[in-house]
Copies of this chain bind each other. A is one copy, B any other.
């Protein structure tokens, strides 16, 4: 315990200001708020996993309330909670009272009544976390609401870029692939543009619409055209399970036009970063040699995911003034 304390002070956490109890999306965050999360996460990322900080969430209980399967994100949140000394409860929504006619809000209120301090929710309906936030005393963290937002994913993407480039200001970041179904894309657009990056959305016309230009981003249908200008390529998975009709003739056709491979890497900037939110489909959006190559920071993103979630939980549960919540 003493070790943890001294480590905590060694961390020299910045004296942060944070007033939100909930993290629902990046759209609502100011540039200053995003910078605060990234600064805290960057400190947490320096703490070895084997030497956690068990005092920060001591006595707090966090529930993982996932209505869609997601072992990666759920595990990442669970590890974040445990490393800060909190308790984490997995609420298996599929096996739950919902099949007995209970509303999602009653489920969440019931969990809260058991003495839970934060609800990490994934749900296929956009706005589900917002509904909970309006009705619970507990903190609500959005772990993905349909195609809407996935704020911690975008924050971990941004932290990874920051660690390699020092700043997002003026960088060109391309989000490639299935923009239409991607909450990761939406959250990245809000976050990246707010911190001064230039965002390009790139993919087949069936998955990327010109309407996105209204958000201040560039839209392109040719990866080869934009490739030489990009500092970062974030390769989104084609979410076959969300498609109702085929958005392109074949996987081979998609890979031909949009997969990141060795030939394309030669056309890119020498220090281009290759990112992917995962799970990756080798041979579809990325070839194996690029995924495992020196430009890839895919596993670094995963590592940063835990640090970002530690930061979000600590800020919303411990730093936020209860009265400061909008």
Bound-state Cα–Cα, A99 to B101, Å: 28
Least CB distance from A194 to B in Å reads: 27
Q: CB-CB < 8 A to A63: which residues of B?
A: 75
Which of B50, B52, B114 lies in contact with A117, CB distance below 8 A?
A: B50
Contact A279 B71 (CB under 8 A): no
Contact A97 B306 (CB under 8 A): no
Q: CB-CB < 8 A to A87: which residues of B?
A: 79, 82
Pick the interface stretch among A28-36, A121-129, A175-183, A280-288: A280-288
Is A102 among interface residues, defined by CB-CB distance under 8 A? yes
Given A50-B59, A95-B69, A100-B241, are A113 and B281 neighbors across the interface (CB < 8 Å)? no
Given A59-B52, A302-B110, are A284 and B115 neighbors across the interface (CB < 8 Å)? no
Closest chain B residue to A302 by CB distance?
B113
Is A229 among interface residues, defined by CB-CB distance under 8 A? no
Bound-state Cα–Cα, A70 to B98, Å: 11
Bound-state Cα–Cα, A59 to B82, Å: 10
Contact B59 A305 (CB under 8 A): no
Contact B302 A114 (CB under 8 A): yes
Is A76 among interface residues, defined by CB-CB distance under 8 A? yes
Is A60 among interface residues, defined by CB-CB distance under 8 A? yes
Least CB distance from A200 to B in Å reads: 25
Q: CB-CB < 8 A to A305: which residues of B?
A: 114
Is A106 among interface residues, defined by CB-CB distance under 8 A? yes
Q: CB-CB < 8 A to A114: which residues of B?
A: 49, 75-76, 79, 302-303, 305-306
Given A101-B279, A281-B102, are A303 and B71 neighbors across the interface (CB < 8 Å)? no
How many copies of this chain are found per oligomer? 3
Contact B101 A281 (CB under 8 A): yes
Contact A110 B279 (CB under 8 A): yes
Bitwise interface map of A from 277 to 312 toward B, beta carbon under 8 Å scored 1, else 0:
011111010000000000000011011011000000
Contact B71 A60 (CB under 8 A): no
Q: CB-CB < 8 A to A60: which residues of B?
A: 50
Which of B92, B96, B100, B109 lies in contact with A299, CB distance below 8 A?
A: B109
Q: CB-CB < 8 A to A103: which residues of B?
A: 282
Bound-state Cα–Cα, A299 to B299, Å: 42
Q: CB-CB < 8 A to A111: which residues of B?
A: 75
Which of B101, B113, B278 lies in contact with A110, CB distance below 8 A?
A: B278
10 smallest CB-CB distances across A and B, nearest first, come from: A49-B115, A102-B279, A97-B279, A113-B302, A71-B96, A50-B59, A113-B299, A69-B95, A101-B281, A113-B303
- Sample 22 A-B pairs with CB under 8 A, ordered by A number: A49-B114, A49-B116, A50-B59, A50-B115, A69-B96, A71-B91, A71-B93, A72-B97, A72-B110, A75-B89, A75-B91, A76-B114, A83-B115, A100-B237, A100-B241, A101-B279, A101-B281, A106-B278, A106-B279, A110-B279, A113-B299, A114-B305
